[in-house]
Amino acid sequence: MDRVIIFDTTLRDGEQAAGGTLNIQEKLQIARRLEKLGVDVIEAGFPITSPGDYEAVRLIAKEVRTPVICGLAHASPEAVDRAWEAVKVAARPRIHVFLSASDIHLMYQLKRSREEILEMARSMVARAKKYADDVEFSPMDASRTEPEYIHQVLRAVIDAGATTVNIPDTVGYAIPEEFGRRIAGIFRSVPNISRAVVSVHCHNDLGLAVANSLEAIKQGARQVECTINGIGERAGNASQEEIVMALRTRRDFFNLTTGIDTTQIYKTSRLVSELTGFVVQPNKAIIGANAFRHESGIHQDGVIKMPITYEIMDPKAVGIPASSLVLGKLSGRHAFKARLAEMGYSLSEEDLNRAFQAFKELADKKKEVTDKDIESLIAEEQRTVSEVYHIDRLQVTCGDRGIPTAAVRLVAPDGQVVADAALGTGPVDAVYKAINRLVGVPNKLTEFSVNSVTEGIDAIGEVLIRIETDGTTYTGRGADTDIIVASAKAYMNALNRLLTAKKTG
Ligand code: KIV
Ligand code: ZN
């Protein structure tokens, strides 16, 4: 097989990243984008873990019809049954059963013998197989498990009906050459291996997740589990965009393809970053802000003469928008709509009207409106649509002599207009205190950061915040040319997520 199956686990392992919780609608939005990106399998969640996760998997299974939709289950009858209940409406459902295999996990966590684990794995795969044709099995912590035992487990689960066997480097311990030998050993020593696809799932604790995945692919693995922007438990998972672009850019070496439409990579990365609140580091390969920026004079000279002197990939192949000046305050609705279409947005008439109104307001404050501004503006509009409380008015007084004071007027969920004012140590503190008086949900602010979307003094500021309540973290984002307004929007966004989560359980 000369095609690598891209198994995206952004919505499961990615969402497990501390502070990256998504609500059901956000998960559906990401799943739709992953479908456009062309992933083969979406691991949509772990249905037994919460009613919200179950609902999200079910909704995605119903709505997203092209990829395989996979639900994760630990090796218990209830978890397998729940995973099936969630995915069974999918056009192509998959159940993914996992169970620890290493002696470390068996001894200290599960307190079971190898024989017991083997039997649990076999019987849970057989149970899943009664429901679904497509069953995956993962021996967790495989990279720290004796190879002979893994071979035994794989043979048993394939006989029980597993169609994909996944080798997880759960704790990111593997080294490429060693991991590759492990994969090659599986092909040599598991007699029924030709009846299953061999998959890998690598964590990034030593920064080797992508290298380990590529080495496994070289040794014959034909499914790779990965996430957008590499998010995931602890240091994250193998980054999908890096694997896909490595396979594409070095086709001469791998001679393999994927079904990914690479021009969708940048937009998918932005959406995941936007909804999870995990900012992409500037030097991140493929999608970081500096990934295609040349600073040294010699490099700039080379790129101007011929891009391949210092660029191994065309930024357009990844869908990175040109940062050229596009529109200004005299641009009409037609030009705005055309630019949105060129950037790949298709908005309903109502959303277009709202976005155009926001564009006009921005163009009044900012002379040059770039693609990045438009992206930020659309993201802001999409946040506004799912509001519970809405900021109607905001007024702040501050300065080196004054006492920072904020007056806030909100539109409550029942349409009632409520207003209050507060003093603070600074303008943001005052605004947050005034909002707290109106909304009345105790929480702790754990993170606050401001970034500018483009260069220039009139740039839009994007604020990212995280708040914590009852051990759960909620992320909020807001954008505006006024960073106090952006801060207020971000706080309101986080509170709205918190309130929605509390309502839906
Ligand atoms: O890292 C891991 O082992 C996992 C499994 C559930 C595949 O995420
Ligand atoms: Zn994992």
Nearest-CA residue for ligand 1 atom 3 is 170
Per-residue confidence at 67, pLDDT binned at 50, 70, 90?
very high
Residue 321 has pLDDT above 80, yes or no: no
**478 Cα to the center of ligand 1, angstroms:** 33
Compute φ and ψ for 395, nearest 5 degrees. -140, 135
DSSP β-bridge partners for residue 447: 466
Q: Is 177 helix (H, G, I), strand (E, B) or coil?
A: helix
Give the pLDDT of residue 326: 67
- Which ligand 1 atom sits closest to the C-alpha of 237? 1
Residue 371 has pLDDT above 90, yes or no: no
What is the best residue among 41, 70, 110, 138 to mutate for testing ligand 1's pocket, by most ligand atoms within 8 Å of CB? Answer: 138
**444 Cα to the center of ligand 2, angstroms:** 29
Q: Which residues surround ligand 2, an ion (CB under 5 A)?
A: 13
- Which ligand 1 atom sits closest to the C-alpha of 138? 7
Helices (H) and strands (E) in the chain, counts: 17, 16
Q: Is 47 helix (H, G, I), strand (E, B) or coil?
A: helix
* Helix, strand, coil shares, percent, the chain, to 5: 50, 20, 30
Q: Show the ligand 1 pocket: residues with CB < 6 angstroms.
A: 13, 98, 138, 140, 166, 168, 170, 201, 203
Give the pLDDT of residue 367: 77
Residue 328 has pLDDT above 70, yes or no: yes
Give the pLDDT of residue 322: 61
Alpha-helical (H) ranges within 201-348 are 209-218, 240-249, 251-254, 265-276, 297-305, 333-342
Give the pLDDT of residue 346: 83
Nearest-CA residue for ligand 1 atom 4 is 170
- Letter for the amino acid at 496? N
Residue 341 has pLDDT above 70, yes or no: yes
What tens digit of pLDDT does each residue of 416-469 get? 999 999 999 999 999 999 999 999 999 999 999 998 888 788 889 999 999 999
What is the best residue among 10, 11, 12, 13 to mutate for testing ligand 1's pocket, by most ligand atoms within 8 Å of CB? Answer: 13
Residue 386 has pLDDT above 80, yes or no: no
- Which ligand 1 atom sits closest to the C-alpha of 142? 3
386-389's contacts with Cβ under 8 Å and 24+ in sequence apart are 386/25, 386/496, 386/500, 387/492, 387/493, 387/496, 388/413, 388/495, 388/496, 388/499, 388/500, 389/413, 389/438, 389/439, 389/492, 389/495, 389/496, 389/499
Q: What is the pTM of this model?
A: 0.87
340-348's contacts with Cβ under 8 Å and 24+ in sequence apart are 340/374, 340/378, 343/371, 343/374, 343/375, 344/264, 344/267, 344/319, 345/378, 347/378
**265 Cα to the center of ligand 1, angstroms:** 24
- CATH superfamily membership of 2-276: Aldolase class I (3.20.20.70)
What tens digit of pLDDT does each residue of 214-228 get? 999 999 999 999 999
Residue 178 has pLDDT above 70, yes or no: yes
DSSP β-bridge partners for residue 226: 8
Asked whether the beta carbons of 208 and 172 are under 8 A apart, the reply is yes
**258 Cα to the center of ligand 2, angstroms:** 22
Name residues whose C-beta falls within 8 Å of residue 169's C-beta, 6 or more positions apart in sequence: 142, 143, 179, 200, 201, 202, 203, 209, 212
**505 Cα to the center of ligand 2, angstroms:** 25
**184 Cα to the center of ligand 2, angstroms:** 21
Q: Give me the chain's average pLDDT, please.
A: 93
- Closest-approaching ligand to the CA atom of 137: 1
pLDDT, greater one: 4 or 378:
4
Nearest-CA residue for ligand 1 atom 2 is 170
- CATH superfamily membership of 387-504: Alpha-isopropylmalate synthase LeuA, regulatory domain (3.30.160.270)
**246 Cα to the center of ligand 1, angstroms:** 23
Q: Which of 21-30, 289-298, 319-328, 367-376 has the lowest mean pLDDT?
A: 319-328
Q: Which residue has the tokens 């706080």?
A: 491
Compute φ and ψ for 493, nearest 5 degrees. -60, -45
- Closest-approaching ligand to the CA atom of 96: 1
**107 Cα to the center of ligand 2, angstroms:** 20
Q: What is the mean pLDDT of residues 6-31?
A: 92
What tens digit of pLDDT does each residue of 243-283 get? 999 999 999 999 999 999 999 999 999 999 989 989 899 99
What tens digit of pLDDT does each residue of 202-212 get? 999 999 999 99
